[in-house]
Chains A and B, each alone.
Chain A
Amino acid sequence: MVESPLTRFFVRLGAGVTLFFIYFPLVVIALYAFNEQVTQQWPIQDWSTKWFSVAFHNESVRAALKNSVIAGLVATAVALVLGTLASLAIARYRFFGREAVTFVVILPIALPGIVTGLALQGTIEDVLGPLGVRFGLATIVIGHATFCVVVVYNNVLARLRRTAGNLDEASADLGADSWQTFRYVMFPQMRTALLAGGLLAFALSFDEIIVTIFTAGAIQTLPIWMYATLFRPTELPIVNVVALFMILLSIIPVYFAQKLAGDTGVAGREAERKAGRARR
């Protein structure tokens, strides 16, 4: 240890302050969900769980939730297929334009969301519109899948880089065809990475608003419902409950995804632990 006790004290303090800063708003909004009153006053005077039942029976919340779940599931499915295909190509082949493929996959999250949203909006309205495409769930999925691909891609690519390509060749040598090699050799290695990528993609899609506003037309997803409602003071208690629900629904998949992605089997964990011990 190089750091003096005093330095370590200040680093601990600073880390504590930052962690507090990260979690304090989430805690506050979670508490507000139990506020009995309609006004958003602090400190909270009376506690109640009545808004949970109000939110649960709210028709527009239910419709928005349904749209969000459908869009999230379909976008995740599309992203899983596209991300897996792209990562297989990048991990196992060297070809002209490889850098360009990487670049295009990352671009949707590197550019500001408003640019992606505006570009898709203009194209759907002016180019796809005359072909019969209308704003709705399908166009939401187009937008979401586009920026979810990179999440799956990153997870699967990281896994493929850790697993050797010669296993695929060994499988072919033993008489397996391409499909069998994929099904019995590659897929089992990729499975947890796919699950982690899928969970993250769903979390990303479920929360997204910046691009969604441009591609949704008149359809409301849960974030769009929230954005439209949070300017109406009398409905804020319902917004609070939905906010708490959304925090939970985005944090839980991420927790599992993190466990899955880091899970490289017992050997990997043991090696990590040893490396950690040696460093100290």
Chain B
Amino acid sequence: MTSVAMSEPPPRQGPGRRLSTFLYRHPRVRLWALLAVPALWLGGVYLGSLAYLLLASFWTADPFTAQLVHEFTLDNFRRIIETPVYRDVAWRTVKMAALVTVACAVLAFPLAYYMARIASTRMRNLLVVAVLMPLWGSYLVKAYAWRTILSGEGVINWALGPFGVEFDGYSNTGLWLVFTYLWLPYMVLPVYAGLERIPSSLLEASSDLGGRSIRTFFSVTLPLVFPAVVAGSIFTFSLTLGDYIAPGLISSDQFIGTVIYREYGTALPVAAAYALVPIAIIVAYLLVARRLKAFESL
């Protein structure tokens, strides 16, 4: 009986194979091969740009040529702190961001509650997509649509006409409406996720213990979902602070974003210094949000 050699086929040889073996034996090298390009792009180009912006805030621009003068100075910051206009604009923007956040929370809650606890599974999946689609829809188109709706001959004034009411849409009230609209999906989704995580047994326990709907809502549901509302508010707050397009389309008042946009053409250093204001506010907001356990709800 002849024996058949049952040997395995030899492994493929070649530079590719050797490289593969080398990579397998050196996980660090493998890791760096993965990270090198993203790190170079985001770390180099993006963080580098942010660092340059920070640096530019300590320079000045020649008033005639707009050329940057590379000399260290704190003048830009002094100007921003001491000029009342900059302070007023910052305060107006923060107030707007707070009002928008409250409006978004109030509007988002019933929809999120319906999605999380009342709708059927099929309906719920449908609604998640229904909320997500406008979230990704064009920001500019939405702002423009509101500009049309809010105009003197637009839908809103047509609807209010029979009541003898005239609504000045191109105002801060109008802008508040537009911001609320633009950022609403950012609030609905975290609140929905937060509500869905609340076990039904907790609400049933509250009901068994005699808590009526309202009592259960304020003593059980609301405290449990609060971190999710804070998580949503990070978006509504931060997006309002930096926006310059919607204010330009709707309101005639200045906001942080419109001031930065106006300054950057002539005085990049002032714009850069003023850009640090929303960053500082957002960082402070994020720190508070972390204390309120909002990050677990993101």
The chain A residues found within 8 Å of chain B, CB to CB, are 2-4, 6-8, 10-15, 17-19, 21-23, 25-26, 28-29, 32, 39-43, 78, 81-83, 85-86, 88-89, 93, 95, 101, 104-105, 107-108, 110-116, 118-123, 126-127, 142, 145-146, 149, 172, 175, 177-179, 200, 203-204, 206-210, 214, 223, 226-227, 230, 239, 243, 246-247, 250-251, 253-255, 258, 262, 273, 276-277, 279-280
Task: State whether B257 touches A42 (Cβ < 8 A).
Answer: no
Among candidates A19, A82, A112, A120, residue contacting B238 with C-beta atoms closer than 8 Å: A112
Q: Is B69 an interface residue (CB 8 A)?
A: no
Enumerate 7 A-B pairs (CB-CB under 8 Å) in ascending A order: A14-B113, A22-B184, A114-B278, A115-B242, A127-B48, A145-B41, A200-B136
Report Cα–Cα, A265/B159, bound state, in Å: 48
For B31, the chain A residues whose CB sits under 8 A away are: 89, 93, 95
Q: Are A15 and B115 in contact (CB under 8 A)?
A: yes
A127 to B70, CA, bound (A): 13
Contact partners of A7 in chain B: CB under 8 A: 213
Determine if B42 and A230 form an interchain contact, defined as CB atoms under 8 angstroms apart.
no
A279 → chain B, closest Cβ, in Å? 7
Closest 8 CB pairs of A and B: A112-B242, A14-B110, A177-B20, A15-B114, A276-B121, A119-B49, A29-B145, A207-B138
Closest chain B residue to A214, Cβ basis: B264
* 14 other A-B residue contacts (CB within 8 Å) besides A29-B141, A254-B132: A3-B117, A10-B110, A11-B113, A22-B134, A25-B181, A101-B35, A113-B243, A115-B50, A116-B49, A149-B41, A175-B11, A207-B136, A230-B144, A273-B121
Establish whether residues B275 and A28, one from each chain, have CB atoms under 8 Å apart when the complex forms. no
Are B153 and A104 in contact (CB-based, < 8 A)? no
Binding site for A on B (CB under 8 A): 11-12, 16-17, 19-21, 23-24, 27, 30-31, 34-35, 37-39, 41-43, 45-50, 52-53, 56, 68, 107-111, 113-115, 117-118, 120-121, 125, 127-142, 144-149, 151, 153-155, 158, 181, 184-185, 188, 200, 203-204, 206-207, 213, 216, 238-239, 241-245, 249, 257, 260-261, 264, 268, 271-272, 275, 278-279, 282
Could you tell me if A112 and B239 are in contact, using CB atoms closer than 8 angstroms? yes
Chain A facing B: main interface SS: helix
Point out the residues of chain B lying under 8 angstroms from A95, CB to CB. 31
State whether B138 touches A247 (Cβ < 8 A).
Answer: yes
* Residues A21 and B282 in contact, CB atoms below 8 Å apart: no
Contact B38 A3 (CB under 8 A): no
Tell me the nearest residue of chain A to B298, going by C-beta. A106
Min Cβ gap B106→A in Å is: 9
Residues of B contacting A112 with CB < 8 Å?
238-239, 241-243, 257, 278-279, 282
Contacts of B48 in A (CB 8 A): 123, 127
Whole-angstrom CA separation of A251 from B111 in the bound complex:
20
Smallest CB separation, A165 vs chain B (Å): 12
- How far does the alpha carbon of A14 sit from the alpha carbon of B114 in the complex, in Å? 9
Are B35 and A89 in contact (CB-based, < 8 A)?
yes
Q: Is the CB of A15 within 8 A of B110?
A: yes
CA distance A262 to B47 in the complex (A): 33
Contact A210 B114 (CB under 8 A): no
- Least Cβ–Cβ distance between A87 and chain B, in angstroms: 9
Interface centre among A25, A108, A119, A280 (most CB of B within 10 A): A25
Contact across chains for A29 and B144 when beta carbons are under 8 A apart: yes
Chain A residues contacting B158 (CB-CB under 8 Å) are 42-43
The residue of chain B having its C-beta at the shortest distance from the C-beta of A253 within the complex is B136
Q: Do B147 and A230 have beta carbons less than 8 Å apart?
A: yes
| Distance between B263 CB and nearest chain A CB, rounded to angstroms | 10
| Interchain CA distance A145-B37 in the complex, whole Å | 13
| Contacts A118-B272, A126-B52, A207-B139; A2 near B245 (Cβ below 8 A) | no
Contacting residues, chain B, for A116 (C-beta < 8 A): 46, 49
Q: How far is the CB of A248 from chain B (nearest CB, A)?
A: 9
A82 touches B41 (CB 8 A): yes
A40-B148 in contact given A209-B245, A251-B136 (Cβ < 8 Å)? yes
| In the complex, chain B residues whose CB is within 8 Å of the CB of A177 | 12, 16-17, 20-21
- Measured in the bound complex, the distance between the Cα atoms of B53 and A121 in whole Å is 9
Is B129 a contact partner of A26 (Cβ separation < 8 A)? no
| Contact present for B24 and A178 (CB under 8 Å) | yes
Which chain A positions have C-beta within 8 A of B184?
18, 21-22
B135 to A, closest residue via Cβ? A254
Question: Which of B27, B52, B146 is the one whose CB lies under 8 Å from A127?
Answer: B52
Please determine whether A246 and B141 come into contact, CB atoms closer than 8 angstroms.
Answer: yes
